[in-house]
Amino acid sequence: MAADGSFQQDTIEASFAALYAGAPTSVSFRKLRKRILRQAQEAISAYRMIDRTAARPRWLVCLSGGKDSYSLLAALLDLQWQGALDVDLLACNLDQGQPGFPKHILPAFLEGLGVPFRIEAKDTYSIVTEKIPEGKTYCSLCSRLRRGHLYRIAREEGCSAIVLGHHRDDALETFLLNLFHGGTLSAMPPKLLNEEGDLLVLRPLIHCAEDDLAKFAEAMKFPIIPCDLCGSQDGLQRAAMKRMLDEWEMKAPGRRATMWRALQNVKKTQLADAALNDFASLFPKNDA
């Protein structure tokens, strides 16, 4: 048993060393790294992403090749190296068959780190392009198909959770999309139990700002794979929400942080949802 633990720690040490081999040594980068790690650790703790009463969990860390998922893996490996994350990690990329997808990049990156990984090829792109009219965005259907495959892979690999790289700005954009286009007050929860009740969906970077992750990914020189390979990104409603948030932030710096605090400070009695509030019983007492 001790030998197994020693081997595991050696593997973690090697992955950490490979990850930060070419990282900047500047004070500004160290502060950036520390902030991202602190926020990730706070989210993992605040939302109880690890069941301390169960056996050591295994997480399926989903990698798209974008800045957010690279930063997610880096943060988890860093916390694991520090002894602050008592989980096993399995990196996973779902190759969905987009034209021009560079299949070699992620395997080479993960092999260089010595991180266990699984690459799954499923041509969901053909399904999406067949069902979605030309000129419409593929994102919604593409996401649903991808999530279904990730659930299957997690079960096959004995993972208790799939872990995604969504950040604070993703949650705010989703909130505005649902507010303006869906007629609901909802965003992205940091922790979600799937409908079957056998898997968690976790977002450890939910407190992190997108700008911080972009700076981190650039400094780390991650081999970024563009997210517009399918050609359906122009004119997305999400992009409009992002521009709106950018404009607000420019006029009132800190607006994003304030909005994110609001999503963590819901006063349900001040809302008009009859399913949350028992309005039928709200009457003044009559002592007469």
Structural domains in the chain plus CATH codes:
9-266 (3.40.50.620)
Walk along the chain (288 residues) and give the pLDDT tens digit of each residue: 334 556 578 889 999 999 999 999 999 999 999 999 999 999 999 999 999 888 899 999 999 999 999 999 999 999 999 999 999 999 999 887 677 788 899 999 999 999 999 998 876 666 666 656 565 565 665 677 778 889 999 999 999 999 999 999 999 999 999 999 899 999 999 999 999 999 999 999 999 999 999 999 999 999 998 876 455 554 478 889 999 999 999 999 999 999 999 999 999 999 999 999 999 999 998 765
**Alpha-carbon span 105 to 224, nearest angstrom:** 9
List Cβ neighbours of 196 (8 Å cut-off, separation of 6 or more).
151
**Alpha-carbon span 69 to 105, nearest angstrom:** 14
pLDDT at residue 147, rounded to an integer: 83
Task: Decide: 210 and 222 in contact? Cβ < 8 Å.
Answer: no
Task: Decide: 244 and 176 in contact? Cβ < 8 Å.
Answer: yes
pLDDT at residue 95, rounded to an integer: 82
Buried b or exposed e, range 11-22, using 16+ CB within 10 angstroms: ebeebbebbbee
pLDDT at residue 3, rounded to an integer: 44
Using the structure block, give the residue that is written with the tokens 């990914």: 217
